[in-house]
Amino acid sequence: MLDGILQGAGTALSAYNILMVAIGCFAGTFIGMLPGLGPISAIALMIPITYGMDPSSGLILIAGVYYGAIFGGSTSSILINAPGVAGTVASSFDGYPMAKNGHAGKALAIAAYSSFSGGTIAAIFLLFAAPALASVSLSFQSSDYFALMVLGLTAVAAFAGKGKFLKAAIMTVFGLMLATVGSDSDSGIARFTFGRLDLIDGISFLLLAMAAFALSEALMNVLESHQTTKEEEEELKKDIGSLRLTREEVKEMIPTIGRSSVLGFFVGVLPGAGATIASFLAYGMERSIASVKEKLNFGKGSIKGLAAPESANNAACSGSFVPLLTLGIPGSGTTAIILGALISYGIQPGPTMYVDNPELFWSVIISMYIGNLVLLVLNLPLIPYIAKLLTLPKQLLLPLIIFFSLVGVYLVTFNNFDIYMMTIFAVVALFLRIVDFPMAPMILGFILGGMMENNLRRALTISDGSLSFLWERPITLSILIITVILLLVPLFGEFSAKIRKKKEN
């Protein structure tokens, strides 16, 4: 193993491969910032370019594009509330309020440091534990995944403000309902399509995210009558470029980054889970364990609320390479494209890959350290310039947001129907926001809904229709117990606080 690591280090640290990492990170960051062009599109664009390269260099370039695109997606989430990549939706919950409050530079700096730390911690895990973790990820079955999705839904509480849990729950159910639109994956029967062929494939995540966040945000700004004064504009411009974090803020971030990175990596190792679930779980976990005072700050520009999903989504990206490289199983759409690229190079990933192709296996892992460093070095100096986007006058910025949202969605399917549907969703989202319904639980329900249904169906088929799978498998039972504890602890806290208050009175 040590010989393999040394071989990989020699390959990854060659000048040519370092250049490939830098190009991949830069291209990925730029593509990730554009709504509609997520990591899948970015990697698909890179595959023809890498055909003539050495497999190690090609995969190093593709891996750089992958985590660069996730990083770029965070930038658009924070600055204009347009999360074009599902894994960066949770970053907008606190990143965008920070940007709106005149701390865009600080929000981007927190995202950069958290992503770097999350990616680096995950790469260390990957280096030392990849072969061993492969067997753990294989032990997960449909019932375990179903329990994991149920655990993910407990994050709804994290997106509900005080006294708004019912509204958050209603929006989650709405998201779960939207996830059922389209043809049934088993029987092929069309569900809730109203005879429209355009809805056979279901509703696109990008369409829903753009309508709920970017387009409805632009419409809200149009409706708002508040005009910023010249003094306010000057103050905004002065604060936007500030990247400095105080010692207290760094202290606040470090434990969050540590917890979220570990959680993100292990969620990324599970095939089918990925960066999106990792970021939502990390956000929910941080809010659950936060103090009462800190909880009030979530959704309004909390440092922990931004650092948690940013660490987790980057750590999950590195974690997703474990099943791909060690088992040959792609854990997500993005790693499926990478698997296709590997096979086209004549390499079959699997349990013997790190023995048969140690140079390729270890060089990709070591290049992740370099890639995270490159992302930090590339992006930190650019933050003041990127953040200047927010200083554009509203008359120019709002049409740009609307343009990128509409074009981003249209470029994915080239279907006019998606534009009409997105506009309808945006108007509905605008109404719901005015009456104070949160959008995040709907996105959470939509993302988890399809996966929950498929895993529940498979688990029921395996257990012959019996619900005994909920308590017969130790992993499933453990995850469900954790879910119940997470739900009961806040209720118990509130109940005991009421009792104390009564006694004091």
CA distance 165 to 83: 24
Cβ pair 312, 261 in contact under 8 A:
yes
Given pLDDT bands bounded at 50, 70 and 90, which one contains residue 165?
A: confident
pLDDT category, 181, cuts 50, 70, 90?
very high
pLDDT at 330: 67
Q: Which of 413, 149, 94 is nearest to 276 (CA)?
A: 149
Under 8 Å between Cβ of 155 and 33: no
Whole-number pLDDT of residue 142: 85
pLDDT at 44: 73
156/447 Cα distance (integer angstroms): 13
Residue 428: the pLDDT is 92
Please state whether beta strands 182-183 and 190-191 pair in parallel, antiparallel, or not at all (unpaired): antiparallel
Query: Which 3-state string (H, E, C) describes 156-212?
Result: HHHHCCCCCHHHHHHHHHHHHHHHCCEECCCCCCEECCCCCHHHCCCCCHHHHHHHH
Q: Which two tokens stand for residue 178?
A: 């939207």
Question: What's the rounded Cα separation, in Å, for the pair 345 and 62?
Answer: 13
Characterize 438-473 residue by residue with b for buried, 16 or more Cβ atoms within 10 angstroms of its Cβ, and e for exposed: bbbbbbbbbbbbbbbbbbbebbbeebeeeeebbeeb
Rounded mean pLDDT of 443-469?
86
Note the pLDDT of residue 178. Answer: 92
CB 306 within 8 A of CB 112: no
Mean pLDDT in residue range 159-166: 69
- Report pLDDT for 396: 78
More confident residue, 380 or 437: 437
Domain encompassing residue 143:
1-504
Whether pLDDT at 237 is above 60: no
Q: For CA atoms 323, 324, 330, 332, give the dihedral sign.
A: positive
The tokens for 167 are: 């509204």
Instruction: Map 403-425 to HEC letters.
Output: HHHHHHHHHHHCCHHHHHHHHHH
**351-385: per-residue pLDDT in tens?**
667 677 777 777 877 888 888 888 888 777 777 77
Least confident of 271-275, 288-292, 480-484: 271-275
Instruction: Kindly report the backbone phi and psi dihedral angles of residue 86, in degrees, each rounded to the nearest multiple of 5, phi listed first.
Output: -60, -35
Average pLDDT over residues 83-103: 80
In DSSP terms, 171 is beta-bridged to: none
Whether pLDDT at 238 is above 60: no
Note the pLDDT of residue 242: 67
Confidence of residue 401 (pLDDT cuts 50, 70, 90): confident
Q: How far is CA 149 from CA 98, 107, 205, in A?
A: 29, 29, 17
Report how many domains make up the chain. 1
pLDDT tens-digit map of 35-59: 656 677 677 777 777 777 888 888 8
Token pair 């790190």: residue? 354
**Average pLDDT rounded to a whole number, residues 187-199:** 86
